[in-house]
Amino acid sequence: MKTFDYEAPVTIDQTITMMSKTHGQILLLAGGTDLLVQLRSGNKDVDLVIDVKGIPELNQISYDELSGLIIGAAVPCSQIYESQPVLEKFPAIIDAATIIGGKAIQNRASFGGNLCNASPSGDAIGAMMSLGAICNVVGSEGARNIPIEEFCIAPGKNALETGEMLISIQIPSPRPNSGSHYIRFTPRAEMDIAVAGVGASIELDSNLDQILSARIALVAVAPTPLLATEAAESLIGQEPSGPIFEKAANIAKQTIRPITDVRGSASQRKHLIGVLTRRCLDIAVNRAVQVS
């Protein structure tokens, strides 16, 4: 790797000041599972690496009913799937945290890093998008919230302005009678990147026979992870059933702009989105029924 400087501030303020005062290219370091690969391959250049793992707000995970789940931007997958409230209330988050890389990667890779890296195939992004996450961002101009569907703007590009950093990701408490799931297709079960992925969350009415609200996120089938708004809307007011899921899956297939690359062809991806959307909705609904 080319030479660079390294700092490890312990507060957000220190970090923001450091970012505004330093000339040259600055990159933040969380688990480093994307960053070190990119620096080593020469894909990214940097003058100063700021390690954010020493900042308390970025390192904690908390839950209460009012604020929902707050995942500090640098919290690694293993800490997420060992967290009791996540295990109890956010199954799609568990699904994503347990399929990213293998055990060693999961001890380092954060959801915040996955999101900031803005890969079209970010599994954590898909799961968080299906749950309506909000990104808490701070910069020298102050704090702002970005809905997760607006956070990734192109492959590898996010909506952060120069001098801004991601602090945490906030996911609303699940509604009564709701369930979520994240599913992807990979040739190898572990240590592989999604050819296509789907996240969904579903809220049912108290009789469990009508869908009140739904969100569907599609992964690795467009320049960024994508919210399938029309597909989700087609479910509202309907009784959950195979044909209804099929219809939503067909709408989702129309929303995507897949490419052909080493992992799969555009037509395979389109086919996969159909299959995965149906399966994902089915499991999300089953989970909603189980928690009720």
Partner 1 sequence: MSNKRVVSSTINGQQVEFLTEPQQSLLECLRDTLGLTGSKEGCNDGNCGACSVLINNRLVNACLMLGIEIDGKDVVTVEGLANVHELHPVQEAFVLEDGLQCGYCTPGFIVATKALLDRNANPTEDEIRFWLAGNLCRCTGYDKIVRSVRLASQLMNDAKEGPQ
Ligand X SMILES: Cc1cc2nc3c(=O)[nH]c(=O)nc-3n(C[C@@H](O)[C@@H](O)[C@H](O)COP(=O)(O)OP(=O)(O)OC[C@H]3O[C@@H](n4cnc5c(N)ncnc54)[C@H](O)[C@@H]3O)c2cc1C
Binding mask 77-96 for partner 1 (x = CB under 8 A): -x------------------
* Residue 49: contacted member of partner 1, ligand X, none (CB under 5 to 8 Å, by partner type): partner 1
- The residue among 89 and 184 lying less far from partner 1, judged by its C-beta, is 184
- The residue among 4 and 81 lying less far from partner 1, judged by its C-beta, is 4
Which residues 6+ apart lie within 8 Å of 47 measured at CB? Answer: 4, 5, 22, 23, 24, 25, 26
| 39, 45, 48, 49 alpha-carbon torsion, rounded to 10° | -30
Is position 258 an interface residue for ligand X (rule: CB under 6 A)? no
Of 58-87, binders to ligand X (CB under 6 A) are: 58, 73
Which residues 6+ apart lie within 8 Å of 93 measured at CB? Answer: 69, 80, 81, 86, 111, 127, 128, 131, 171, 180, 182
Q: Which of 18, 27, 51, 173 binds partner 1 (CB under 8 A)?
A: 51
**Token pair of 288 as six digits:** 């909603």
- The residue among 99 and 134 lying less far from ligand X, judged by its C-beta, is 99
CA 22 to CA 43: how far, in whole Å?
21
Least CB distance to ligand X at residue 191 (A) = 6
- The residue among 110 and 201 lying less far from ligand X, judged by its C-beta, is 110
* Residue 40: contacted member of ligand X, partner 1, none (CB under 5 to 8 Å, by partner type): partner 1
Is position 29 an interface residue for ligand X (rule: CB under 6 A)? yes
Least CB distance to ligand X at residue 137 (A) = 8
Q: Which of 16, 80, 93, 116 binds ligand X (CB under 6 A)?
A: 116
Binding mask 162-191 for partner 1 (x = CB under 8 A): ---------------------------xxx
Cβ 68 vs Cβ 83: under 8 Å: no
Is position 246 an interface residue for partner 1 (rule: CB under 8 A)? no
Q: Which of 10, 11, 37, 141 binds partner 1 (CB under 8 A)?
A: 37
Site residues (vs ligand X, CB under 6 A): 27-35, 37, 52, 58, 73, 99-101, 105, 108-110, 112-114, 116-117, 122-124, 160, 165-166, 191, 193
Residues that bind partner 1 (CB under 8 A): 1-6, 29, 31-33, 36-37, 39-41, 49, 51, 53, 78, 101-105, 107-108, 189-191
